[in-house]
Amino acid sequence: MEPQRQEYKGHHIELRAREADELRAPVAEREKDLELRIDDEPIRYGQLPGGMYALHEYAYDWTENLMDLVRRFIDYRDRADEIRRETEAR
């Protein structure tokens, strides 16, 4: 997996190499040790034995494409925030 940057529904998504020991680590290790950020906030993720990705905060969904999973997580958070606002307004 390569470092990536995307915008999705006003959120900045970034998958980047961790800063520490970035230049000394072998390529395979760098790919395994990419840092995921949404709006510059770190998001913990992992890869299941079958190759699917999961987010620690969003364990309801898994997929082979991490960026697709992040977009679904953003949709989930936005919808949860919308429901919370509607509930508080009542």
Q: What is the CATH number of the domain that holds 28?
A: 3.30.1880.10
Domains identified in the chain, total number: 1
Per-residue pLDDT at 19: 72
Cα 42 versus chain centre, distance: 8
pLDDT along the chain (90 residues), means of 10: 90 87 49 84 93 92 94 95 92
56 vs 43: CA distance, rounded Å: 8
* Residue 9, domain extent: 4-89
Q: What percent of the chain has pLDDT over 90?
A: 68
Per-residue pLDDT at 17: 87
Per-residue pLDDT at 21: 52
Helix runs in 1-90, H state only: 27-32, 66-89
